[in-house]
Amino acid sequence: MNPADTWRVLGYRPHPGQAEVHASRARFVLLVGGARFGKSLAVAREVLRELVCGPGFGWLVAPQYLLARPEARHVTDSLARLSHARPPAREAIESVAGARVECRSGRQPDSMLGDELDVVALCETAHLGREILPRYLRPRLVTRNGRLIAGGTPRGANWMLELFLRAETAPDWQSFQYATWDNPRVDPAEVESARALLAPEVFEEQYGGQFRSRSGRVFPEFTRKVHVRPVVPLPGAAVFRGVDFGYSAPAACLWVTPDEHGNLCVMREYYAAGRTIADLVRDIAAADRQLRETGLRPAAAWADPSNPAAIAELCRAGVAATRAGNSVVAGIDRVRTLLRGGQGSMPGLFIDPACVNLIEELETCQWADAPPGRERAPAPGNDHALDALRYVVTGLHDRVGWQVGGFVC
């Protein structure tokens, strides 16, 4: 039975937004929507599409079992109406054709190891842990070329925003974003009542389906369209580095070189967790040797000032590293100045598309809420490549007076 026939038998008439989701043939689909848009029903119908076609195997994954209940109920009721259902088990749904869908809780990620799947549906995606998809779920889809359907309402500017931004450009992905009022079955008076009651940023998030933070982006000037382009170093150019140390959190190193207009260009990144200082130093020194073999000149490096012993290790390996200035807000201001560029001129900072972690952090880094009278700072977490960028930009500014367009002294 094809989907159109299935919807007809069920009496399912998707509204225009849901119909757009069902028309997608992308392998990976992200549906972002305000409350009561109809996300759970649309996600369940996509899972049903896989179930009625044969003996597939899939999961409904939610932060806890109760949050998978709406999608599970839609799937179970639909199978019953199609006379495809067997009596449901506690955490599984089966069809007479042999298809099976199980519920999984984000609180028990180790239960997501081992199986191979035809379909995975994420329920309340924004409330799942960041590592659930890449570490536990994506590998389950490899052998069967399985599909992923993720739905949810935003929760600040967390990893769901990162996924949404990535889905806009990644192959095999398609993202959708709708507001509550895009569901024509929602009473507009209810929407306006909520608008009058809630703070604007809460309303925009919960009803508008928008990614909002009370404090906002740290680098609002950055856009992929303007600042991301392939970087081809000038022959014999100097290359500067910024280094942020880490072990449990990723360590990061950026290689930065000027272009013919004096703009700074991030040409390469290193980003890895679980590497010792000795590993990191060896990897950076090896990358520098590769650059020298192409005729480039690794020059000064500025590194995390909190670890002088690691800086000394870099120096012993031939990396001319010094302690970076660590005024966070001043460094951010210098990076933002480069992103903006001079009046009527191009930006002073460009990034190679291969620097995926730096690009992601520039798009998602948010200001933390600061108490009155306290200097604001970025929310801790996903800012390791940004620290490396801040170190090298600050170092060049303090050492040689680098501004938009190059040296000023």
Can you say whether the dihedral through the CA atoms of 77, 78, 79, 83 is positive or negative? positive
Helix (H) or strand (E) holding 268: strand 264-272
d(CA 324, CA 326): 6
Scored b (16 or more CB within 10 A) or e, 77-101 reads: ebbeebebbeebeeeebbbeeebbb
CA nearest neighbour of 337 among 190, 187, 221: 221
Can you say whether the dihedral through the CA atoms of 121, 125, 127, 130 is positive or negative? positive
Per-residue pLDDT at 407: 43
Percent of the chain with pLDDT over 70: 90
Per-residue pLDDT at 341: 81
Helix (H) or strand (E) holding 46: helix 39-51
- The number of residues in the chain equals 409
- Whether residue 408 is predicted with pLDDT greater than 50 in this model: the reply is no
Q: Bigger pLDDT: 373 or 307?
A: 307
The pLDDT of 85-104, averaged and rounded, is: 70
Banded model confidence at residue 409, pLDDT cuts 50, 70, 90:
very low
Average pLDDT, the chain: 88
- Other Cβ atoms less than 10 A from the Cβ of 147: the count is 23
d(CA 403, CA 383): 23
Instruction: Kindly report the three-state secondary structure assignment for every residue of 269-283.
Output: EEEECCCCHHHHHHH
pLDDT in tens, 316-325: 999 999 999 8
Banded model confidence at residue 109, pLDDT cuts 50, 70, 90:
confident
Instruction: Describe the crossing of helices 3-10 and 69-81 by its angle, rounded to 10 degrees.
Output: 90
Residue type, 395: G
d(CA 44, CA 24): 15
What the block records as the tokens of 234 is 């000038």
- Give me the residues paired with residue 241 across strands: 255, 301
CA nearest neighbour of 350 among 211, 279, 210, 254: 254
Strands (E), 146-261: 147-152, 173-178, 238-244, 251-258
> Which of 28-42, 47-61, 250-264, 387-401 shows the lowest mean pLDDT across its residues?
47-61
What the block records as the tokens of 141 is 């889809």
Per-residue pLDDT at 286: 97
- Other Cβ atoms less than 10 A from the Cβ of 148: the count is 24
**Domains parsed from the chain with CATH numbers:** 3-206 (3.40.50.300), 224-400 (3.30.420.280)
The distance from CA 180 to its chain's CA centroid, rounded to whole angstroms, is 23
CB 239 within 8 A of CB 320: no
CB 167 within 8 A of CB 30: yes
pLDDT in tens, 343-365: 556 899 999 999 999 998 998 88
What the block records as the tokens of 235 is 């022959």
pLDDT in tens, 232-272: 999 999 999 999 999 988 999 999 999 998 899 999 999 99
Banded model confidence at residue 171, pLDDT cuts 50, 70, 90:
confident
Q: For residue 336, give Cα distances in angstroms to 33, 87, 330, 389.
A: 31, 59, 10, 11
Q: Bigger pLDDT: 81 or 176?
A: 176
CB 170 within 8 A of CB 360: no
> How is residue 213 annotated by DSSP?
-
